[in-house]
Amino acid sequence: MIKGITHVSAIASGAEFDRVSSLFSALGFEQGKGWQDAQGRGAAFLAPIGNLEFVTGREPAVPTVLVEVTQLDHMRSLVEKWLLASYRTEEIPEILSAAELTHWNSRLFTVQITTELRIGFWQSENPLHGQPEAVEGDLSAAGMRFAVVTTRWNTVITDRLLQGSLDALHRSGAARADIEIVRVPGAWEVPSAARTLAESKRFDAIITLGCLLRGETAHYEAIYNEVARGIGQSQQETGVPHAFGVLTCETLEQALDRAGLKAGNKGFEAASAAIEMVSIQRKLAAQNGQGKK
């Protein structure tokens, strides 16, 4: 099993060796295990990722040592500052190149550390370069079944949330026949209904809607904590995604703002999250060989 790659560069003199070591230390490389004996010495510098590349047909257009960075201009400033401590100002343009675009969609600058050692520093112009691939959900609700639990209490708010949820579902391709709406008295009853619907296994996701106003309910926090806990527990124990669209606001005005007047519609957002979570679950199940057909 391959464990790592080491590129070894010979440096002619001890003074140049010390200078190169000081540069790599100044740039923030993690120092590895060095060595020293009667014939010479070595210093190791570690990078998070190592690559070994071979070419044929033409000479490489880049130095044999390439260091990929995320802030190329800042890195060049550090190298220039380091050079100013050892070289005259007029010598630096001959040693340190400008950062220029390459034909491989990157920017690159080089520094001639010693006669034998030239190092290139580069940064990709592609913002997604090197980023790990992620499983993400799609916003297509076609073929999915949803249950929406909403409340009769504070209907001036919850009806707006419900309308937002239905809007998101229909826009995303959900059929009307695949959406079931359940009305419960208040927010306290939402977790129980959500749990019953989830355990029926008839739905791909449950969308929970409600509204709690501090000004109207003396035991506001106790109710909210239990509602949130109950919905979360139902989701964890049934494995069916539950989208949380229960508003907790100080005033009716704040609730209206979050139900579509100023700050978006929480019902729309909850339905969108439900669609995405169903999509993610299906993709993960497919990767495990258990995808729906």
pLDDT at 206: 98
pLDDT at 292: 46
pLDDT score of 1 more than 80: no
Q: What percent of the chain has pLDDT over 70?
A: 95
pTM of full prediction above 0.85: no
Per-residue pLDDT tens over the stretch 156-186: 999 999 999 999 999 999 999 999 999 999 9
72 is in an annotated binding site: no
114 is in an annotated binding site: no
pLDDT score of 277 more than 80: yes
Give the tokens for residue 100: 């220029």
Sorted by sequence, the CB contacts under 8 Å of residue 8 that are 6+ apart come out as 42
216 is in an annotated binding site: yes
Domains of the chain: 14-32+44-124 (3.10.180.10), 146-289 (3.40.50.960)
Per-residue pLDDT tens over the stretch 124-158: 988 766 667 788 889 899 999 999 999 998 899 99
212 is in an annotated binding site: yes
pLDDT score of 12 more than 50: yes
Q: Exposure of 164 by Cβ count < 10 A (0-12 exposed, 13-18 middle, 19+ buried)? A: buried
Mean per-residue pLDDT for 108-116? 90
Distance in angstroms (rounded) separating the CA atoms of residues 50 and 76 = 21
pLDDT score of 291 more than 70: no
187 is in an annotated binding site: yes
Q: What percent of the chain has pLDDT over 90?
A: 53
Q: What are phi and psi for residue 173, nearest 5 degrees? A: 100, 10
Q: Quick check: 125 and 68 in contact, CB under 8 A?
A: no
Looking at 11-25, 85-99, 208-222, 265-279, which range is the least confident one? Answer: 208-222
Which one of the listed residues 103, 129, 170, 219 is annotated catalytic? 219
219 a catalytic residue: yes
